[in-house]
């Protein structure tokens, strides 16, 4: 049986470096402390941004919470989708994704990820996160 790698938020910069160096299975990864508290780190041209996908109905309220957080921080927000089918809701037909287009370096995006997980999901410095593809 394969287990997901676990990190604390202070280990996030190391995971981001591995992503930048192509050492992750995909061109992105997520950190999850619970089924609703899962954010994805994406990269484009060496710059990072954060996505949040609401695949389940219990995640839908967090789209608005994350949007409020991002707007309050002055981050550009883009509504999109990966085309995934929601688990337990029909409208919208595709799971919504909120993309925080921060275009940051590793240290900056790690700080944003930490603040987001603490502010929106009330996690602490010692909260364990699973790394997911």
Mapping DSSP to helix (H, G, I), strand (E, B) and coil, where does residue 47 land?
strand
CA–CA dist 104, 18 (Å, integer): 16
For residue 46, how many other CB atoms are within 10 A of its CB?
A: 9
CA atoms within 13 A on the CB side of 81: 11
CA–CA dist 26, 92 (Å, integer): 27
| pLDDT tens per residue across span 15-33 | 999 999 999 989 999 999 9
Matching residue, tokens 């287990």: 3
Mapping DSSP to helix (H, G, I), strand (E, B) and coil, where does residue 21 land?
coil
pLDDT at 46: 82
CA distances from 18 to 7, 66, 77, 94 (A): 13, 26, 26, 30
CA–CA dist 82, 13 (Å, integer): 25
pTM of the model: 0.93
Return mean pLDDT, the chain: 94
């Amino acid at each position: 049986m394969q287990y997901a790698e676990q990190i604390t938020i202070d280990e996030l910069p190391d995971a981001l470096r591995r992503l930048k160096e192509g050492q992750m299975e995909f061109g992105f990864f997520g950190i999850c402390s619970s089924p609703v508290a899962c954010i994805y780190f994406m990269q484009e041209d060496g710059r990072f941004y954060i996505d949040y996908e609401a695949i389940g109905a219990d995640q839908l309220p967090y789209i608005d919470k994350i949007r409020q957080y991002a707007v309050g921080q002055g981050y550009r927000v883009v509504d999109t989708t990966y085309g995934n089918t929601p688990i337990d809701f029909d409208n919208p037909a595709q799971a919504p994704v909120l993309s925080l287009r921060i275009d940051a370096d590793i240290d900056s995006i790690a700080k944003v990820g930490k603040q987001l997980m603490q502010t929106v999901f009330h996690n602490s410095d010692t909260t364990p996160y699973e790394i997911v593809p």
